[in-house]
Amino acid sequence: MNSLRSRLLLIAAAIGLSVFALFPRATTVRETKPDGTSVNTIKRQFPLKYGLDLQGGMHMALEIDESKGTVADKKDALGRALKTVRNRIDQFGVSEPVVQQAGDDRIIVELPGIDDQQRAQDVVQQSAFLQFQITDESNALDKSLPRMDAAVRSRRLDVASAPAGTTPAAGPSAAAPLSGLLSGDTAKKATTDTAKAPAPDSVAKDANGPITKMIQAGGFPGQYYVRESDVPALTRYLADTVVQAAIAPGKVIRFGADTISAPGQPTVRALYVLDAKPIITGEYLTDAKPNNNPLEGGYIVEFEFNSEGGRIFRRETGKHVKDNMAVVLDDRVMTAPTINSAIGRNGQITLGGAGLQEAQDLALVLRAGALPVPLKVAEIRNIGASLGQDSIDKGKLAFGIAILMVIVIMVGYYRFSGAIAVVALALYVFFTLAALAAFGATLTLPGLAGLVLGVGIAVDANVLIFERIREEMDRGKSARLSIEEGFKHALSAIVDTSVATILSGAVLYQYGTGPVRGFAVTLVVGVAASLFTAIFVTRTLLLVWLDRTGGTKPLSI
């Protein structure tokens, strides 16, 4: 009796723990408002998590993009990129995301319930490499232009860019001069510091040069302007290694992030010549947050360095008071303000016409850190929420049919013993769902299939036990002895089958990804629950029956 009481107490404890694991609880959910702001709200939710295929969302596979340069140690780079992507997704506000490495060359990102998929893709892929570089004060581009023009001609890059059937432009008339495009009120930056701006003639030493004719001096040393229509050709020229070698040593050329346009005037883009060595990079950045721009409107991103970064930033900016400092993000100049005094740990990035959501995303990727290598999207799949709900409905239908068939067969064939098996089967389902919730596992569509399959495995163990009990009763043994012998002889077969299934599930989990892992987890948890219910719960219920009847009645089996 004491043994039976202990068994019942253990089953009761398991039921109590399962109720606790499945009881709805308050959960913090991050939601995005229509104006782009995110807020945390408290909701009471069922603790079992749904996977991407049941909730809907986005599946994305990322690979290292080597089009911009070969990566020596791809495995190490992918591991570091995985940490950065995971940090960004954690701050993106998606519930139950999956970010994991698949093999040695891919990162899998699954975002259930995501609405703005393009935004999520941009946040994941953005390199966010932040540098602060001083604009050139030595007119290095003026001195380099003749060599750069000669390099373009020697490489015949200007010929390659000319439309078929035409010849390259030969004189100033081929390209309208840029002087005047930035006059008046149409270009604020071009007129803000005319005293410091170099004379146009100092740039156009060779007015017919393929690069020279595209460039106009800007508002301060190191700044120039280019027609937006000329940007593709100039980008191609600057990407050539011979042209790059013609640039003055220690200098780099970067385009601005924004364009400048005015009614009746061509759209232009700023071009900056910068000191190649940054005064500081974003590696010292500890925090970033969006805010309103009180002076010019729009939004800014305020950032803060750690104490070491603050010392470096103060020292370097102190050396360049009255110079212009370019804030360069992913090789694009976001802004180039004049340094009026030494700057400490705090600064800001002006985003021009960007909205609040862009400012929030930039602050997010700056906080999460820069990617060590560029990533490209190798595969992207979108799963609608309606498809997920349809999968849930069909999964419930399949599960219900499986349960109904098992109940009919077990009760119809094994009668009273079959009814005991049905009770154990109900506890099997209950314990499996509770274990999934307790361990934080995610229920996927293959997981539902694993749950349905587990019903068959669970009832199979009962069938083995009952058939052995029948054999023992046919030999004339008592009900008590038949039950003991039946469980004893069936145990090895049940354990062997269960161990083989658990090992298969472990292999699937180790080498599978996404839904395959969900199936493996559900299968292994289900087999463990099946062992407990078939061997322990069913036997306990039969012992209760023996205790009530004294073993004097024949067992209905």
On the question of pLDDT at 179 being above 70, the answer is no
Mean pLDDT of 527-541: 89
Supply angle C-alpha 343, 346, 352, rounded to 5. Answer: 100
Taking alpha carbons only, the member of 467, 376, 451 closest to residue 418 is: 467
Joined together, the tokens standing for residue 270 give: 């700023």
Q: What is the pLDDT, as a whole number, of residue 275?
A: 94
Which has more confidence, 104 or 384?
104
Dist CA 427 CA 530 (whole Å): 9
Higher confidence at residue 392 or residue 501? 501
Alpha-carbon gap, residue 516 to 59, rounded angstroms = 14
- Cα(372)–Cα(17) distance, integer angstroms: 45
Q: Which of 62-71, 513-522, 542-551 has the lowest mean pLDDT?
A: 513-522
Q: What are phi and psi of 108, to 5 degrees?
A: -100, 125
What CA dihedral angle connects 241, 244, 245 and 251, to 10 degrees?
-150
Q: What contacts 294, CB < 8 A, 6 or more positions away?
A: none
Q: How many Å apart are CA 234 and CA 228, to the nearest integer?
A: 10
pLDDT at residue 203, rounded to an integer: 44
pLDDT of residue 388: 61
Confidence of residue 373 (pLDDT cuts 50, 70, 90): confident
Number of other residues whose CB lies within 10 A of the CB of residue 47:
17
- Using DSSP's 3-state secondary structure scheme, residue 393 falls into helix
Burial class for 515, CB neighbours closer than 10 Å (0-12, 13-18, 19+)? buried
Q: Residue 170 CA to chain centroid, in angstroms?
A: 51
Cα separation, 428 vs 529, whole angstroms: 6
Side chain identity, residue 122: D
Does 189 have pLDDT greater than 50?
A: no
pLDDT bin (cut points 50, 70, 90) of residue 184 is: very low
With a pLDDT cut of 70, the percent of the chain lying above it is 83
pLDDT digits (tens, 9 = 90+) for 150-172: 999 888 887 755 544 444 444 33
Contact 222, 137 (CB under 8 A): yes
**What are the tens digits of pLDDT across the range 253-286?**
999 988 888 788 888 999 999 999 999 888 788 8
- Which amino acid appears at position 269 of this protein? R
Specify the higher pLDDT residue, 373 or 309.
Answer: 309
- In this prediction the pTM is 0.53
The size of the chain, in residues, is 557
Q: What is the mean pLDDT of the chain?
A: 79
Distance between CA atoms of 13 and 19, rounded to whole angstroms? 10
Does position 26 have pLDDT exceeding 70, yes or no?
Answer: yes
How many angstroms separate the CA atoms of 540 and 411, rounded? 18
pLDDT value for 505: 85
Torsion of CA 349, 351, 356, 361, to 10 degrees: -60
Element housing 270 (H / E)? strand 265-275
CA distances from 240 to 9, 46, 236, 273, 519 (A): 78, 58, 7, 17, 51
pLDDT of residue 288: 84
* Phi and psi torsions of 223, nearest 5°: -110, 140
CB-based contact 129:329 (threshold 8 Å) = yes
Q: What is the mean pLDDT of residues 315-326?
A: 90
Buried-state track 380-392, b at ≥16 Cβ within 10 A, e below 16: eeebeeeebeebb
Question: Binning pLDDT at 50, 70 and 90, where does residue 4 land?
Answer: confident
Task: Choose from 31-45, 69-83, 463-477 the range with maximum mean pLDDT.
Answer: 463-477
**Mean pLDDT calculated for residue range 12-17:** 92
Encode pLDDT of 375-420 as tens digits.
888 888 777 665 566 777 777 788 788 888 888 988 898 888 889 9
Which range is most confident: 21-30, 91-100, 222-231, 366-375? 222-231
| pLDDT-derived band at 180, boundaries 50, 70, 90 | very low
